[in-house]
Amino acid sequence: MAVSDPFHLAVQVRDIDEARRFYGDFLGCPEGRSSESWVDFDLFGHQFVCHLNPALKDTAVASHKNPVDGHGVPVPHFGVVLEMQAWQALADKLSAHGIAFEIEPYVRFKGEPGEQATMFFYDPSGNALEFKAFKDRETQLFKKA
């Protein structure tokens, strides 16, 4: 997916090979440049970099939860706003592989501006991810109440 202004995001991971398996093999993100201590991925057209932090070997990245629509949303988190069909395919894939969701796939803010399909889960290092979708991403993504 080509985006006009891709973002660059770097996160810490406990194991580079584990990150390659999760982001590359499982989520299907093509790999770019890398070294022994970091690896670039194409995360739906954005530059996403996993940097090794050996101190995470026995612990996960810390986060807290913020209440949104009756759920505790992990913060910080990152992800991508997908088209609805791609979101559903990813939700089905994650469910079929037994991913433990922090927030199961569902539609939040039903009937309101900003109605969206969303799901939250963690990578093996404890980084929280959210993938979401709107019926009409172009008109709904930044729509105010």
Q: How far apart are CA 29 and CA 128, in angstroms?
A: 17
pLDDT tens figures, 63-89? 889 999 889 999 999 999 999 999 999
Q: Please, what is the end-to-end C-alpha distance for the chain in angstroms?
A: 29
Position 117 scores a pLDDT of 96
Backbone angles phi, psi at 85, to 5 degrees: -65, -40
**Residue 1 confidence (pLDDT) above 60:** no
Position 27 scores a pLDDT of 95
pLDDT tens figures, 26-61? 999 999 999 999 999 999 999 999 999 999 988 888
Place domain 59-144 in its CATH homologous superfamily.
2,3-Dihydroxybiphenyl 1,2-Dioxygenase, domain 1 (3.10.180.10)
pLDDT tens figures, 4-29? 888 999 999 999 999 999 999 999 99
Backbone angles phi, psi at 134, to 5 degrees: -120, 155
Class for the domain spanning 1-55: alpha beta
